[in-house]
Amino acid sequence: MQKADGKSLAGMSLEELTSLALEGGQPAYRGQQIFDAIYRQRVASLTEVSTLPREYRGGLTEQGWEMGWPSVERKFVSVDGTVRYLVGLADGESVETVWMPEGDGGESGDGSEAGEEDGGAFLSDASGAAGRGIAPSPHSSVPLPASMPLPVVAGWRRATICVSSQVGCAVNCKFCFTALLGVKRNLEAGEIVGQIAAVLRDQRVAPPLQRVNIVFMGMGEPFLNYENFMKAVRLLVEGVGIPESRMTVSTAGIVPRIYDFGREEVRPKLAISLNGSNDELRSEVMPLNRKWNIGELMQAAREFPLRARERLTFEYVLLAGVNDAAEHAREVAELVRGMRAKVNLIALNPGSELPYATPEQGRVEEFQRILIAAGIPTFVRRPRGRDIFAACGQLKKTVEIAPAGQEI
């Protein structure tokens, strides 16, 4: 990541930092010291890297090297404890990153440790659907009205950070606020990791001692910024100390990259944004489907190599009167049948600039019941941070928020 007034160390790998040290006449282990200072300690400046000789630190500074972390420009806090950060980049652009204490239930049932923690919060319901993927929970398995955000929960056992991969987004999903921004550019690996570092510093959290999950579901399509996204993943695993089993990436369906992703030795879990049960419907709400249709997408999903106990996740945003009918649920069941997969249902998070509405609670429950009856584990992601425009699909750098939200 090149800063406007210097060269950024954030985003460099151990190999790159070792080469930098050797080029400066330093022993190779200086590279490891810088690497640890950047990612483990997440120091703000070179002057804080006490393990390096003062002369070497001074030399790096004279050469224009800086840590190069993004900065928090604005911060909005929801009544449910969610925090939306507006993160400033060196060129004046900005992206959004979201902190969710206790997450939003998105990892439930995905076969990972994070999913087990999430699923542990889910209770059985009166219909006896416990253990089959139905999601009634003390955190609300069905969408709450926007006027009824969840109360703040004192303390947390684990948290989720939702991270952006691009400034804006080029995919143009019709139900997503971010699509209204268009796309400006890809983020560098250091800018992706930098969002997480900024949130960890602000929240005073230090993984792996504290459980933090990462979801690449913020602004942008990660698979359209594949190399920088994957480099960021490796830096998070090797440097920050967050295992890939605690990361999930969501794609709108960039089919060639799904195959590439399946060949990676170190990779997060995969979620595919489906949102339509047939080609006509999916093309209407996700124009990308005209390039890679449902048949091609589902073929890539069926061929994706899953780890032991891992499940593929399909995300499905429910739009009132558009894709939330019983017939659509039955079509989704046929698409997913026979796969080691789960479905996350997301009732549309509302916004006046979108031509869609949030479905009634009964429609969401019926959709879920049909999928579960077909043997497909199905969960309803609970909305987080609606009052500060931090919920799924709401990220568009909104600075005027509802009275319930609070800016710090």
Token pair in block for residue 320:
């009132």
Q: Are strands 211-216 and 247-251 parallel, antiparallel or unpaired?
A: parallel
Cross-strand pairs, 269: 248
Q: Tell me which residue has tokens 């050469």.
A: 63
- Give the Cα separation of 315 and 98 in Å (integer): 19
Three-state DSSP state, 9: coil
Known catalytic residue at 169: no
Question: What are the Cα distances from residue 272, in Å, to 191, 221, 258, 298?
Answer: 24, 11, 9, 10
Q: Tell me which residue has tokens 């224009």.
A: 64
Among residues 116, 334, 392, 407, the one annotated as catalytic is 392
Among residues 66, 96, 188, 191, the one annotated as catalytic is 96
- Give the Cα separation of 250 and 72 in Å (integer): 24
Known catalytic residue at 392: yes
Token pair in block for residue 332:
């989704």
Contact of 393 with 178, CB cutoff 8 Å: yes
Name the strand (E) or helix (H) holding 260.
helix 255-262
User: Which residues are marked as active site?
Assistant: 96, 392
